[in-house]
A and B are shown apart, each in its own frame.
Chain A
Amino acid sequence: MQHTTIQPNDILAKAETLRETLSTSFRDEMVKSLYSEAEKIAKRAVKTVQEKKYDLDQKIDRLVTSPITGLPIMLILLGIVIWLTVSGANVASEAIANVLFGIGDGGRALFNQIGMPWWITGFLWDGVYLGLAWVVSVMLPPMAIFFPAFTFLEDLGYLPRVAFNLDWLFKKAGAHGKQSLTMAMGFGCNAAGVVATRVIDSPRERLIAILTNNFVPCNGRFPTLIMLATVFVAAAFPPALTSFVAAGAVVGVVLIGVAFTFLMSWLLSRTVLKGEASAFTLELPPYRRPNVTRILYTSLIDRTIFVLWRAMQTAAPAGAIIWILANIHLGDSNLARMIADWLNPFGLLLGLDGVILLAYIIAIPANEIVVPTMMMVYMGAGMMVDGPGTSAGIYDLLVNGHGWTMLTAVNLMLFALLHNPCATTIITIYKETKSYKWAAVSVLITLGTAFLVTLLTASFAHFMGWV
């Protein structure tokens, strides 16, 4: 018997010659035959009994995408989710804070009792532990409310309709309609918003969504915005209007963020991201009855715990650094105070001050601890503090004690909106893009925008002689 041996290279060469004889549409034919085979199998195995549900889906679709009802439904749903989150989280945050800070007090007392040196007690309980406790108590409740609510809409099948409605706007900016969903997710947490961009299947549009997600203020920044809007902006109006004005100011800031998202998307799609791959397709799945177990699992385990864990990893060292800065004394000043003084000229140029910049630098791990850090330095405390309990108290401390003006408040709101992503988000961007370059770009464009905008408003205000 004779064997003819075939070399691998012969096969490859043969394939090479055969390829030239293929018609250009052979891939289409291939997919077509796969589909017809699948259809054949489906016909044998699947029985369709009802057509009714299909009609209901169509009716709902007409309702949620119509010009008259579509947009209001969308805004109302988003409003409900954010209102639930903000109002519900307040109560829960306080409860969790009471428990966690109670544990901290207990730990500190115990350490004092057994005679630990003051700096070990301070470092561990007032630094590391306080940082952790603060982040958990402020971050956990809003996420635990926002994510299930958001996932509920997702599971229902409603969210793709939002992308469908708004795609036209995003197309103008060179982006993908599904970016509306990742932005909405950004209200919960920007890191989660960045992860959510996985639903965008086209690489260029996905990068745009990742790089601009930070222009949507997350849960961690809302308290800062609300505090400033209440204490400063609303204070200029009669008491009856206070809450309306405050809410209006926060909505205004959010809209500015949305405007920057579109502007930056437009710029990116026409400059750095010009050559990246791009396509648009959007599936509108049938409506389903939401599955409660799945909602709780995806929202709490996949999203909340995931983000919280990452935030805790960065909050602990940040807490330690904050404590060290506040407790190393040189002469009659401490390290935090000295750095703040050194940063002050630059801060004033931006209409802010040195303390604010310092707070943003050391609070990179989580936006939640920016205000406590600021209060710590202003009040000369040795650890993060809540600040005065009332609006009037805060106003007095900042304006009379530390020279704040309306410009400082407005620019801090703008800075809080536009500044660099928190460490958790930066790490997430790196993990999602697998590129240090894009992580760096995300920091540069946001920080650059924040500096530029605050510099412009401050210069304008100085030029007009308002401050």
Chain B
Amino acid sequence: MNFWIWFPILLLAATFLPRYGLLTLYKDWRSAKEREQLEDALKHLLDREGQGRHASPESLAGTLNLPRAKITRLIADMESQGLLETHGSQLHLTAEGTRWAMHVVRAHRLWERYLADEARMPLNKIHDAAQKREHSFTEAQLNDLDAALGHPTHDPHGDPIPTREGKMPSAESQPITARQDEGPVRIVHIEDEPAIAYEQILAAGLRLGQVIRIIERTPGRIVLSDGETEYRLAPAVAANVGVATLPESEIAKTNAVPLADLSQDQRAEIVMLDDSVQGFTRRRFLDLGLTPGATIHPELGNFFGDPRAYRVRGTLIALRKDQAARIWVRPV
């Protein structure tokens, strides 16, 4: 057959083929893109409501990085779907909108949990990876994931994960300025608005999950310490740092040392496995008998320095340094 007969036919087929045609692929891509935008908007609204403030078209445009015309269309679209209501320039989520937003947040945080615990992806990589995947989970998939991960309550950054009923567990956070005792306390929240205060807190070197004590409190400044470094903040800035009382396990950790720091043949008792050890690794550790209360000592070194073998419960188990650093022990 002549080229000029079969080439156009092939071209038409490639474009209009029902399932794999270019047109269908493009439409699928468009609708996925639109869903992403809509869900990001829902998340923004939920986020704002969690902070006790209202979202506006301006704040939405800033977060989604879209021109105003598109934002107006998006808002109108969401309103017609019954996901939000507008009151002047304020945007409110409806019950349906909240439910959907919770679903997306749950997907994001559960997936972060999976990436951190099972895939052992570095913590600074998981947010972006979860940002991509959060839009493609169904309710049933999320419930399966939730069960497979053992119904975690918090994501790896310390934020609560919504329940399957779509309720957000309350975060037990209070401003550090409201604490009267000296701690120790754990930083569970750093408010990112106003940006100037946020920058100052980050520049000082404070981060989520850090365990700190309040060592000085005057009207002019608040001094915090994590045992090594001291952090000075103005009280107005410090009010943006949210803290919570440490769980008992964390207090136990404060006078324990990492297993990796033990010298050869030094006997110790396991205090606890670090909270950052989750999922697959934690199960393996427990299976091997690395349980709180067990006695352990490093028995065999390696000519490369890593891994080392430890004697626990009569067996010899080799662990890499980064893993042994996350088992807390007390020398006996």
Contacts and interface: CB of A to CB of B under 8 A. Distances in A.
Interface of A: 19-20, 23-25, 27-28, 31-32, 35, 58, 61-62, 65-67, 70-71, 164-165, 167-169, 171, 177, 201-202, 204, 274-286
B177 interface: no
B314 to A, nearest CB: 9
Nearest to A64: B300
Contact of A280 (B282, B292, B316, B323): B323
Interface in B278-332: 279-282, 284-289, 291-294, 299-307, 309, 313, 315-320, 323
B174 interface: no
B284 A201 contact: yes
A68 B135 CA distance: 56
B306 A284 contact: no
Contact of B119 (A35, A66, A201, A274): A274
A28 B286 contact: yes
Contact of A278 (B120, B150, B292, B318): B120
Contact of B309 (A67, A278, A284): A284
A164 B304 CA distance: 10
Given A274-B121, A281-B285, A283-B316, A28 B300 contact: no
Contact of A66 (B280, B294, B303, B305): B303
Contact of B307 (A28, A168, A201, A202): A168
Contacts of B304: 165, 167-169
A168 B150 contact: no
Nearest to B318: A282
Contacts of B291: 28, 31-32, 35
A283 B309 CA distance: 9
Given A65-B303, A66-B303, A168-B302, A279 B281 contact: yes
Given A25-B249, A35-B289, A65-B300, A281 B319 contact: yes
15 contacts: A23-B247, A24-B275, A32-B291, A35-B294, A35-B313, A62-B300, A65-B300, A164-B300, A177-B318, A281-B323, A282-B317, A283-B288, A284-B316, A284-B317, A285-B316
B34 to A, nearest CB: 26
Nearest to A277: B118
B318 A164 contact: yes
A47 to B, nearest CB: 14
Contacts of B55: none
Contact of B272 (A28, A31, A70, A169): A28
Nearest to A70: B303
Contact of B306 (A25, A171, A278): A171
Given A25-B249, A65-B301, A165-B303, A283 B293 contact: no
Contacts of A32: 291-293
Contacts of A279: 120, 280-281, 284
A62 B303 CA distance: 11
Contacts of A278: 119-120, 280
Contacts of B83: none
Contacts of A277: 118-120, 279-280
Contacts of A286: 316
Contacts of A20: 153, 169
A168 B247 CA distance: 36
Contact of B319 (A25, A58, A280): A280
A276 B118 CA distance: 7
Given A28-B292, A279-B120, A279-B281, 9 more contacts: A24-B247, A65-B301, A70-B303, A167-B307, A275-B121, A276-B119, A279-B280, A280-B319, A284-B300
A168 B272 CA distance: 26
A31 B286 contact: yes
B323 to A, nearest CB: 7
Contacts of A67: 303
Contacts of B279: 277
Contacts of B120: 277-279
B151 interface: yes
Contact of B299 (A24, A58, A285): A58
Contact of A281 (B150, B313, B318): B318
Contact of A65 (B289, B302, B306): B302
Contacts of A283: 288, 315-318
A13 to B, nearest CB: 10
Contacts of B119: 204, 274-278
Interface string B52-80: 00000000000000000000000000000
A164 B309 contact: yes
Nearest to A160: B318
B12 interface: no
A32 B287 CA distance: 10
Nearest to A67: B303
| A-B residue pairs, 6 tightest by C-beta | A168-B304, A67-B303, A282-B318, A284-B316, A31-B286, A32-B291
